[in-house]
Amino acid sequence: MEMHTVSAQGLSFIGLFLQADWIVKAVIIILFLASAMSWAIIFSKWHMLRQYNREADETSSTFSDASMDKIDGRFNHGGSTQYMVSIAAQEWRQMKRFSGLDQRQLGLQRLEQLLAMHMDQERERMSTQMSVLASVGSMAAFVGLFGTVWGIMNSFQAIATSKNTSLAVVAPGIAEALFATAIGLLVAIPASVGYSKLTSSINSYAMRMEIFSQELLAWCMRL
């Protein structure tokens, strides 16, 4: 393990990275890649949930002012709640043709199953890649800790090689160690917070879909 003396310029982020051991460099690169992936997932999920909630607001206002007879094919091209209205409208039109109570009950059961299946698919879609955030949030700090341990090992080897305990000898390894630790925390904290916030938002939207599905079923029961 080769050691270098550290200058004032070398204490900058770029300087610390360039003078670091190749193991520490690999750790930092991995952490930066994990951070980029985490932020991409966070912004993608945030945008998707924001769009879904905006479309849900529009669907609620439009649906409350319309009857099933007036609902047209535009809902087929919308978001999750709009598609739910489209499913309910199609089933409602079919149930209108039924004269028997038993047939209508079967139609309502079919609609309930279709809505439940759609909501499960949407939950699964919204939850994709969330495990990546959870993994980054829990593992990034430990990956940074590995770089910390490696930097401290470099410092001890430098002391053993030079038989000198001055700060100039141990500073490079200590700086690398602290730098890797800081990067690990900077990656882990946003990923953990993002996972927690997004999970809460996904659960809230799933509850919103569940309530809306009950409203659709109640509407169809008025036949």
**pLDDT tens sequence across 85-94:** 888 888 777 7
Would you state the torsion angle of the CA atoms of residues 23, 24, 29, 34, taken in this order, to the nearest 10 degrees?
100
By the 10 Å C-beta count (0-12 exposed, 13-18 middle, 19+ buried), 97 is classed as exposed
Which residue has better confidence, 197 or 166? 197
Token code pair at residue 47: 């945008």
Which residue has better confidence, 130 or 58? 130
Q: pLDDT-based confidence at 2, cuts 50/70/90?
A: very low
Q: 12-26, 32-46, 98-112, 137-151: which range is least confident on average?
A: 12-26
Q: Where are the domains of the chain?
A: 11-220
Residue 5 has pLDDT above 50, yes or no: no
Contacts of residue 181, defined as CB under 8 A and 6 or more positions apart, other chains included, come to 144, 145, 147, 148
Token code pair at residue 6: 């550290």
Task: Give the percent of the chain with pLDDT over 90.
Answer: 29
Q: What is the pLDDT of residue 73?
A: 53
Q: What is the pLDDT of residues 105-142, one digit of tens each?
A: 888 888 889 899 989 989 999 999 999 999 999 999 89
DSSP state of 79: -
Residue 2 region, left (φ>0) first, then alpha (ψ -120 to 50), else beta?
Answer: beta
3-state secondary structure of 157: helix
- Tell me the average pLDDT across 165-186: 74
Helix axes 22-64, 167-220, angle to 10 degrees: 20
- Give the residue carrying structure tokens 């916030």: 197
DSSP state of 10: G
Provide φ and ψ at 100, rounded to 5°. -85, 150
